Amino acid sequence: MGTYNRFAEIYDGLIAEDVDYALWRDFIIGKCSQYNIPMKDYLDLGCGTGNLSLIIGKLFSRCWCVDLSEDMLIIAEEKFRENRIKARFIMQNMIDLNLNTKFNLITSSLDCINYLTGDGDLDKLFSRIHAHLKDDGLFIFDINSEYKLKNILGENTFTYNSDEVVYIWENRIESEIVEMELTFFVKCDDFYERFDECHRERIYSHSDIRTSLNNNGLMIIDTLDNYTDQKPSYESERITYIIGKAT
């Protein structure tokens, strides 16, 4: 089973029901304005099919999109081309980020960081962020919270059913890793084609995040509930971090 292979083809239709990208864009651009971030160089890590990259990237002079999935990048590049917006697309693991460029704004959305499941991966990422972030730049990312991964996803099974797509989503937790096995049935003419995906997310506490940031020359400016100006609560499902370089 792969991760984001065939899934790239149906990703946008599924995620559109849960994510208000325009709201997320307004929040991020608002933070850029609040902290006087020049709208010059922008990097989206784990850009996926480019939904957020596109609507933020067109506001910047230069836009870079990085993802580990070639299938996702192909779709993202098509969107940029259709909208006549220039960007660079790089297939690269974000813990090995090496672009020889520094950015005013770096984003990583939709719990990409939870997908860093290896020991030391978080430190590797934040080290690369420090190397690529301008001294007065912002790094804005979100994670699936510890509460969500343990209490909502946890050991639970979910199903989804529409005319075009049916899926079964089974989860289990072991050693702070949530393993998600998804079986999809996608309509193709008069029949449904089956394919399987396996996704793994690591549970990161606020303490894990703070310690790793501090160890790599970064600091927390603010933590918020999802992409709002509300402070996180114990039951917050998505936590957004506003990060700068330590002074």
pLDDT at residue 13 tops 80: no
Give pLDDT tens digits for 112-163: 999 999 999 999 999 999 999 999 999 999 999 999 999 999 888 988 888 7
Q: What is the mean pLDDT of the chain?
A: 92
- CATH number of the structural domain spanning residue 238: 3.40.50.150
Note whether 49 and 137 are same-domain residues.
Answer: yes
Note whether 171 and 230 are same-domain residues.
Answer: no
Report yes or no on 127 lying in a domain.
yes
Q: Which of 1-5, 44-48, 227-231 is predicted with the least confidence, judged by mean pLDDT? A: 1-5
- CATH number of the structural domain spanning residue 179: 2.20.25.110
Note whether 31 and 108 are same-domain residues.
Answer: yes
pLDDT at residue 202 tops 60: yes
Query: What residues make up the domain containing 162?
Result: 148-201
As for how many domains the chain has, the answer is 2
Burial, 126: exposed, middle or buried (Cβ in 10 Å; 0-12, 13-18, 19+)? Answer: buried
DSSP 124: H
The pLDDT of residue 15: 66
pLDDT at residue 29 tops 60: yes
Give pLDDT tens digits for 72-115: 999 999 999 999 999 999 999 999 999 999 999 999 999 999 99
Note whether 120 and 21 are same-domain residues.
Answer: yes
Note whether 188 and 99 are same-domain residues.
Answer: no
Phi and psi torsions of 236, nearest 5° = -60, 135
Considering all CA atoms of the chain, what is the largest pairwise distance in Å, rounded to the nearest integer? Answer: 61
The pLDDT of residue 156: 85
Note whether 47 and 155 are same-domain residues.
Answer: no
Report yes or no on 167 lying in a domain.
yes
Note whether 52 and 134 are same-domain residues.
Answer: yes
Note whether 212 and 158 are same-domain residues.
Answer: no
Across 148-237, the runs of DSSP E, i.e. the strands, are 157-161, 165-174, 177-188, 191-202, 218-225
Note whether 155 and 134 are same-domain residues.
Answer: no
Report yes or no on 1 lying in a domain.
no
Predicted TM-score (pTM) of the model is: 0.92
pLDDT at residue 241 tops 60: yes
Last residue of a domain, one of 201, 216, 233: 201
